[in-house]
């Protein structure tokens, strides 16, 4: 009897927010899951929630994705190849660069740049050999312009956008696609970490829910699109950013940051 090969998807930052929503969508489509997150308690809760809805096999890996070479650890623990990879894990840090915590910034850079890149590389080799596979890297609308008061976050997301576009081009015609999702403000745990709801004059428009954003990104990935920017206003912002002088765009971003968050000192 011919053995049926079930497809497997790996999702980082899978315990909540966009990662949880991506995992639900994959399970609905019959993918077995490898869910990676640092939050063991929430990760197991997510596993139980998905298993109660869909008959898929779920493996959980509790990993700090900001550590060096954690991508190699993950792939050594897998007993199968990965058909879909979603690099969703990430976090932000608000404040003047002169006073922010370098240890946290170093972790952010390692997660957004090194781990994302290495996971992509490790997943791509077998995908390229088999001539099929899907990768979704989660960047941000922040990737399209500099971001004062969140300088490293914006810069690292710009890296993800540029990197994803480049390898998507390299892979044309191979059967493997790379999509980069660039959402604007989304209701997730990320916003709780870098924003304050009680800040006077906080801008509350154009905030999407995680389920809608995940569905948009998931559909774009399955259709093989390279860049996915959910929401008409976000699309407009991403388009206009090409034509606005960088110094003006930078000043506008800073004003928005200051409206959304408490004032900080140098």
User: What span, in angstroms and rounded, lies between the C-alpha atoms of 231 and 188?
Assistant: 17
Q: Annotated catalytic, 2?
A: no
Token readout for 19 is: 């990662």
Is residue 211 classed as helix, strand or coil in its secondary structure?
helix
Half-sphere exposure of 114 (CA within 13 A, CB side): 15
Sorted by sequence, the CB contacts under 8 Å of residue 210 that are 6+ apart come out as 17, 18, 20, 21, 186, 187, 188
Assess whether pLDDT exceeds 50 at residue 2: no
Give the model's confidence band at 245: pLDDT under 50 very low, under 70 low, under 90 confident, else very high: confident
Give the model's confidence band at 88: pLDDT under 50 very low, under 70 low, under 90 confident, else very high: very high
Q: What is the per-residue pLDDT for 263? A: 56
Assess whether pLDDT exceeds 70 at residue 173: yes
In this predicted model, which residue has the larger pLDDT, 245 or 193? 245
Q: Tens digits of per-residue pLDDT, 196-215? A: 444 444 445 557 899 999 99
Query: Percent of the chain scored above 70 by pLDDT?
Result: 88
Q: What is the per-residue pLDDT for 258? A: 81
- Contact yes or no for 18/44 (Cβ under 8 A): no
Average pLDDT (69-96) is 95
Mean pLDDT of the chain: 90
Average pLDDT (131-138) is 98
Q: Tens digits of per-residue pLDDT, 91-116? A: 999 999 999 999 999 999 999 999 99
In this predicted model, which residue has the larger pLDDT, 187 or 121? 121
Q: Tens digits of per-residue pLDDT, 10-55? A: 999 999 999 999 999 999 999 999 999 999 999 999 999 999 999 9
First-residue to last-residue Cα distance in the chain = 69
Of the residues 7, 47, 63, 157, only one is catalytic, namely: 157
Largest distance between two CA atoms of the chain? 69
Query: Percent of the chain scored above 90 by pLDDT?
Result: 76
Beta bridge partners of 8: 32
Q: Annotated catalytic, 153?
A: yes
Provide the whole-model pTM: 0.89
Q: What is the per-residue pLDDT for 6? A: 65
132: left (phi over 0), alpha (psi -120 to 50) or beta: beta
User: What span, in angstroms and rounded, lies between the C-alpha atoms of 15 and 6?
Assistant: 23
Assess whether pLDDT exceeds 80 at residue 189: no
Half-sphere exposure of 65 (CA within 13 A, CB side): 28
The domains located in the chain, with CATH, are 8-260 (3.40.50.720)
Of the residues 153, 172, 232, 265, only one is catalytic, namely: 153
Task: Tell me which residue of 8, 6, 15, 17 sits closest to 217, measured CA to CA.
Answer: 17
């Amino acid at each position: 009897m011919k053995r049926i090969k079930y497809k497997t998807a790996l999702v980082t930052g899978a315990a909540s927010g966009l990662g949880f929503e991506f995992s639900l969508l994959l399970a609905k489509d019959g993918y077995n899951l490898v869910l990676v997150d640092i939050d063991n308690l929430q990760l197991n809760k997510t596993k139980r929630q998905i298993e109660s809805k869909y008959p898929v096999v779920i493996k959980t890996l509790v990993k700090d994705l900001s550590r060096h070479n954690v991508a190699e650890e993950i792939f050594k623990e897998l007993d199968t190849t990965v058909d879909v990879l979603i690099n969703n894990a990430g976090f932000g840090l608000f404040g003047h660069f002169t006073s922010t915590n370098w240890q946290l910034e170093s972790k952010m850079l390692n997660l957004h740049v090194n781990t994302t890149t290495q996971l992509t590389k490790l997943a791509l080799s077998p995908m390229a050999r088999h001539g099929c596979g899907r990768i979704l890297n989660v960047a941000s609308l922040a990737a399209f312009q500099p971001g004062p008061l969140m300088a490293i976050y914006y810069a690292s997301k710009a890296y993800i956008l540029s990197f994803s576009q480049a390898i998507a081009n390299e892979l044309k015609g191979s059967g493997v696609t790379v999509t980069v999702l660039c959402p604007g403000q989304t209701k997730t745990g990320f916003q709780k970490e870098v924003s304050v709801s009680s800040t006077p004059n906080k801008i509350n428009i154009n905030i999407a829910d995680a389920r809608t954003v995940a569905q948009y990104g998931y559909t774009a990935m399955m259709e093989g699109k390279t860049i996915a920017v959910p929401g008409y206003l976000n699309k407009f912002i991403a388009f206009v950013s090409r034509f606005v002088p960088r110094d003006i765009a930078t000043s506008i971003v800073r004003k928005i940051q200051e409206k959304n968050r408490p004032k900080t000192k140098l």
